[in-house]
Amino acid sequence: MVKKSGSKKTKAIIEKKSLLNDALKEIKNEIASMKRKREELEAQLQSTKDTIGKTQEEESRLRNKLTALTNKETEFSAKKDKLEDSLEYVKEKLEKIKKVESDLSDV
């Protein structure tokens, strides 16, 4: 009878060991899975950082281009204003000449 109770204890210990081994395997599998997931997330994070960097570079390039275009627009606007002033001056001179011509033809 002692053998049976010892045998029951041994079986119980073996079952507990088996359960613990199974649990340990599951934990190891879960750890491996989580490591893979972490690596995937780290890769995605790095990719996102790279994309943000490229986007910021593009934004900077476009800002510089916009500044250059704005400067050109300002130059052309000033040139247009000068040309309009010159045109107005020439029109006024022509009107004066026409008036003088008309006055002279009346004499």
Three-state SS at 19 = helix
What CA–CA distance (Å, rounded) separates 86 from 78? 12
CA end-to-end span of the chain: 155
Average pLDDT, the chain: 93
Whether the pLDDT of residue 2 is over 60: the answer is no
What is the per-residue pLDDT for 73?
A: 98
Give the whole-number percent of the chain exceeding pLDDT 70. 94
The token duo for 27 is: 């934990």
Give the whole-number percent of the chain exceeding pLDDT 90. 81
pTM confidence score: 0.59
